[in-house]
Amino acid sequence: MKKTAFLDSAYKVLSIEAEAITRQLDHLGSSFEEACQLILDCEGRVVVTGMGKSGHIANKIAATLASTGTPAFFVHPGEASHGDLGMITPKDLVLALSNSGETSEVLSILPIIKRMGVGLIGLASVPNSTLANLSDVYVNIPIEQEACPMNLAPTASTTATLAVGDALAIAVLNARDFDETDFARSHPGGSLGRRLLLYVEDIMHKGSEIPLVRETALLSDALVEMSSKGLGMTGVVDANNALLGIYTDGDLRRTLSERISIDTPISEVMTANPVTARKDVLAAELISLMKQKSISGVMITDDSGVVGALNMQDLLRAGVL
């Protein structure tokens, strides 16, 4: 097979699938709105089901719903007939996928679902199918042809169904006023979650890990404290733990260039009134402050004095940067 034939095949597949998605724009209407309202009003979970390739699409739609503010999960229709129906409660809503609307494994569980009083949204390409007739809301997904040259392998139909599922999830997301903070709560392990949910208090060094010396200490004492704590700085405090100044690696370089003795009182070489932060500030906000002030470390203070310390390496390790 020539390379040009591979490309020709790819162009044809993508054109057919793109057309299948575009076709849905002409068929969106009241049924789509009703489906969104059912999902929005659901007091339980949205249970998404489908068999074969439709099952894979159903699994992805469930994951998209769950990550965008709608509690949802996938149930395999075959397993549902052997016990997994117990996962569905009367407050749930079932979203059933079947291109033909006649998938036996899906249809076999619908009478039980209906007897439970569970709402049913059906997604299928055949308006007069059994699934369409049993559904409380039927969303038609018309498909003219599959991308498969034999018109057999689910390709355009699964692509279009996935797109409509995404449209349902995002339409409901918008109705919920779901924002970045809500999204982060569902994705605490992602970079967005870390930026929006991680506070300074969560990553700062506390207690004995905080590099501190008294204002009466010598420069040599400060260097020992900096070396032992490994943050590239030390805070200088009074007897009440109030921060008077800070001494950093940058200050040390300046001190060395001026040939200042290590027996010099730290109060004479420290940076007075340094930049500080509060522990209830988002770590992402602190990064902006540190970049603005061109500093690599900061002491964390509150009304009681110094309560923590952190540097850019801590933010890197926490995945905020």
C-alpha span between 279 and 232 (Å, rounded): 20
Question: What does the pLDDT look like over 84-115, one tens digit per residue?
Answer: 888 999 999 999 999 999 999 999 999 999 99
Task: Tell me what the mean pLDDT of segment 160-167 comes to.
Answer: 97
Give buried/exposed letters for 270-285 (b at 16+ CB in 10 A, else e).
bbeebeebebeebbbe
Please report whether residue 81 resides in a domain: yes
Q: 161 and 37, same structural domain?
A: yes
Phi-psi region of 126 (alpha: psi -120 to 50; beta: other; left: phi over 0): beta
201 burial type by CB count under 10 A (0-12 exposed, 13-18 middle, 19+ buried): middle
Picking from 12, 13, 25, the residue whose alpha carbon sits closest to that of residue 163 is: 25
Q: 34 and 164, same structural domain?
A: yes
- CATH number of the domain to which 102 belongs: 3.40.50.10490
Q: 236 and 156, same structural domain?
A: no
Helices (runs of H) and strands (runs of E) counted in the chain? 16, 12
Under DSSP, the state recorded for 103 is -
Are 235 and 306 in contact by the 8 Å Cβ rule? The answer is yes
C-alpha span between 46 and 87 (Å, rounded): 11
pLDDT of residue 67: 84
125 burial type by CB count under 10 A (0-12 exposed, 13-18 middle, 19+ buried): buried
Q: 119 and 7, same structural domain?
A: yes
Distances, alpha carbon 312 to alpha carbons 188, 200, 276, 289, 317, in Å: 21, 12, 14, 12, 9
Pairing relationship of beta strands 297-302 and 276-277 according to DSSP bridges: parallel
Please report whether residue 262 resides in a domain: yes
Confidence check: pLDDT of 318 > 70: yes
The domain of 97 spans 3-178
List phi, psi (to 5°) of 138.
-110, 125
More confident residue, 179 or 49: 49
DSSP assignment string, 122-187: EEES-TTSHHHHH-SEEEE---S--SSTTS-SSSHHHHHHHHHHHHHHHHHHHHTT--HHHHHHH-
Range name among 206-210, 250-254, 302-306, 315-319 with the lowest pLDDT average? 315-319
What is the Cα gyration radius of the chain?
30
List phi, psi (to 5°) of 38.
-60, -45
Last residue of a domain, one of 145, 178, 211: 178
Q: 258 and 135, same structural domain?
A: no
Please report whether residue 185 resides in a domain: no
Confidence of residue 151 (pLDDT cuts 50, 70, 90): confident
Please report whether residue 225 resides in a domain: yes
Question: What does the pLDDT look like over 43-88, one tens digit per residue?
Answer: 999 999 999 999 999 999 999 999 888 999 999 999 988 878 889 9
Task: Tell me what the mean pLDDT of segment 7-18 comes to.
Answer: 94
Confidence of residue 206 (pLDDT cuts 50, 70, 90): very high
Percent of the chain with pLDDT over 70: 93
Task: Tell me what the mean pLDDT of segment 123-144 comes to.
Answer: 95
C-alpha span between 245 and 196 (Å, rounded): 30
Task: Tell me what the mean pLDDT of segment 171-197 comes to.
Answer: 65
Q: How is residue 15 written in tokens?
A: 């054109």
Beta bridge partners of 130: none
Question: What total number of domains does the chain contain?
Answer: 2
Please name the amino acid found at residue 82. H
Q: 216 and 174, same structural domain?
A: no
Percent of the chain with pLDDT over 90: 71
Q: 225 and 172, same structural domain?
A: no
Q: 261 and 139, same structural domain?
A: no
Please name the amino acid found at residue 242. A
Q: 205 and 171, same structural domain?
A: no
- CATH number of the domain to which 303 belongs: 3.10.580.10
C-alpha span between 14 and 7 (Å, rounded): 10
Q: 153 and 37, same structural domain?
A: yes
Please report whether residue 220 resides in a domain: yes
Confidence of residue 14 (pLDDT cuts 50, 70, 90): very high
Q: 62 and 208, same structural domain?
A: no
Please report whether residue 65 resides in a domain: yes
Please report whether residue 184 resides in a domain: no
Q: 31 and 159, same structural domain?
A: yes
C-alpha span between 32 and 138 (Å, rounded): 8
The overall average pLDDT reported for the chain is 90
Please report whether residue 186 resides in a domain: no
